[in-house]
Structure 1
Amino acid sequence: MMQNRWDFSKRGWARVWVLTVLGTLLCIGVAFAVDSYSFSTGTWVLRESAINNLVIPLILAPPLLFFLLSKLRELAIAHHELMSVAATDSLTQLLNRRAFTAIVEGYLERVEARQAPPNGALVVIDVDHFKSVNDSHGHDAGDKALRSIAETIRAQVREVDIVGRMGGEEFSVFLPGATIDVTRAVSERVRVAVHDVPSVPDDPERRLSVSAGGVVFARPTTFPELYRLADAQLYTAKDNGRDRCEIAVLDAAGARAGETVA
């Protein structure tokens, strides 16, 4: 991947070059200061050998600083890649369950700490009758279907929404600041879009469907509470015939049924 030449992050080359130059200038300044100060008289005197204070740092400092800063950059890149791998589901490239949970919990805690009115939604999405894909077409076809569905979900949500794979054929979407209308619209877009995806490569006529359960919140809450309520709505969608969305509202009075989209 080509990097931005003006990337001043710990992983960018611009940071290495700028710090090399600044470090070299600092070394030159220190060399002049140490060589020119007379401890006996307490005065600054520019000596005849002052040119060495410029030449020697220019010869030694740049390659040494560049080498050290380059190694620090490589460590930063390795750390970033390691964190990315630890947070990403290897099959779908979505957030894995632990990373998704941590991000949502962090969001809820920050909102509560700011004493801002908390609102948003959590939607749990499950692929209907997915076991039949693995049974009739094999796990490789099932993996391809999951990747296609993951891409479809990511394409239908808002830019600010967070998408993760919770395990197996279950996905979750967290919608910060979403109202019930927005949650309903996003869930419906995902449900309809999955119908248009040829989810089984060697059987292009076969289409899968998803069921979704969501909960819209308008008060302080926790991820376990949201997930429990959204999961309950998901099971309601399954019991009511699948290929549908059930959404509940969590407010000061507690959870109450919302609307069904089918």
Structure 2
Amino acid sequence: MTGRGAVADVVERSGIATTAMAEIVHAVLSPEEFDLFARFAHRRTLRAGDCLFRRGHRGSSMFVIAEGEIELDFGEDLVLKRLAGSEFFGELGLLIGDHLRSADARATCDTDVLELGHVDFHRLVETEPGLIAYFLRRTIMRVVGNEQALISQLRRRNHDLETALDNLYVTTHQLSHTRELVRTDELTGLHNRRGLALYLQECRAHEEGPAQGLLLIDCDRFKQINDEFGHQAGDRVLQSVANILRSMAGADDLACRLGGDEFCLLLRRANAEIVQHAAEFVLTAVHGLIERSHGTPHVCFLSIGASLVHPTADWSEWYANADRALYQAKRDGGDRLCWPHDVVETG
């Protein structure tokens, strides 16, 4: 046989095998089978919309459609299946006995079905064992094929679900990251003014009320550092100040860069002694860094204005009190802490 003839023979045999497989798997009775089943089955008439059985109910009969149409609904977003003349379904109930139905079976129009129970089926086997053997072989192949298709569909759904969850995680991460960017100062990583505003909103909604202590902090002679050593050195100084404030802030406190070389530290639970201690810690940390630095500065001296927060006051009043104290510290030469009561009124 030539190569072309061999290929043609394979194709022909493959086509025959495919056709045979389709006949085996397809849930349609041949005319001979239908006539045989009709001799022993019980005929039932359904009106449009009548339910033959429901998903999850137990059953031990199989059915063949004589006339009309049955819709099988497997639920959970699976594809509906419509069966018509000579097609059979529910055979697992017959073969297994007392089987849980996997779908709702409903007539879409006036329909006649043939119902076969165990006794009816045994009479079929005794009458035409060869024909029934072929039917059983076809049924088993169909069940296996359906199960494989269902497993494949569930795998695809599982893959789609995993993909959706991954996308949701990425989107959530991006939203969280965007939210942090909106409220975070890019240079120092502290909260910015928007972050401060959101924090104050959260404080108002909190049953414990607003923060109790405020430090307003300004870098001494920061412009001189920028002019003499460049903006990169100035950025490094701001980052060092931010690190000191970050180390001082507790879990409920807020360290913030208000802009330029101005910072603030809001202490959630504080009295005058705690605020004083926090400010002294910041000044001491600055001194330690300055003593260890040589050449290009890594930090600079700070002026700090401190105030306690009154529960009935708003942010503008807190800021004004601390700001007056801050400028008193600057007028006194910087590198110090002042309270509102330290302010010397000038004419």
* One-letter amino acid matched to 1:184: Q
Residue of structure 1 in register with 2:104 after alignment: 37
| Contact map agreement 1:141 1:200 (CA 8 A) in 2 | no
Report what 1:104 is aligned to: 200
Residue 162 (1) aligns with residue 254 (2): yes
Deviates most, 84-93 or 197-206: 197-206
Query: Match of 1:81, as an amino acid?
Result: H
2-structure distance, mates of 1:66, 1:149: 45
Work out whether 1:242 is the aligned partner of 2:334.
yes
- Assess if the C-alpha contact under 8 Å between 1:161 and 1:175 holds in 2: yes
Q: Distance in 2 between matches of 1:207 and 1:36?
A: 74
1:1-262 matches, cutoff 5 A? 30=76, 35-39=102-106, 49=143, 51=147, 54-107=150-203, 109-111=204-206, 114=207, 116=208, 120-198=212-290, 203=295, 208-248=300-340, 257=341
Deviations 1:91-137 (A, max 9, x none): 11111122123212321x114xx3x5655111110111111101111
1:118, 1:220 within 8 Å by CA — same for their partners in 2? Answer: no
Q: Distance in 1 between matches of 2:158 and 2:284?
A: 59
**Alpha-carbon distance in structure 1 between the residues aligned to 2:262 and 2:274:** 21
**Unaligned 5+ runs, structure 1:** 1-27, 41-46, 249-256
What SS is found at the alignment partner of 2:267?
strand
Q: Which residue of 1 aligns with 2:125?
A: none
The question of whether the paired residues in 2 share the 8 Å contact of 1:123 and 1:214 is answered with yes
Aligned partners of 1:121, 1:243: CA distance in 2, in Å? 20
2:339 counterpart letter in structure 1: I
* Contact residue 237 and residue 246 of structure 1 kept, 8 A: yes
Secondary structure in 1 matching 2:265: strand
Paired positions, count: 215
Residues 121, 176 of structure 1: 8 Å contact kept = yes
Of residues 54-63 and 232-241 in structure 1, the stretch that sits farther from structure 2 once superposed is: 54-63
The separation in 2 between residues aligned to 1:205 and 1:117, in whole angstroms, is 40
**Cα distance, 1:224 vs structure 2:** 1.7
Residue equivalent to 1:10: none
- RMSD across aligned positions (CA): 3.2
Deviation at residue 196 of structure 1 after TM alignment: 1.5
Query: Deviation at 1:56?
Result: 4.2
What TM-score comes out, normalization by structure 1 length?
Answer: 0.71
Residue 325 of structure 2 aligns to which amino acid in structure 1?
Q
* 1:201-222 CA distance string (max 9 Å, x none): 7616886211111211242222
Structure of greater relative contact order (alpha carbons < 8 Å, 6+ residues apart) = 1
Q: Secondary structure at the match of 1:39?
A: strand
Alpha-carbon deviation of 1:36? 2.1
Structure 2 vs 1, CA of residues 205 and 117 (structure 1 numbering), >3 Å: closer, same or farther? Answer: closer
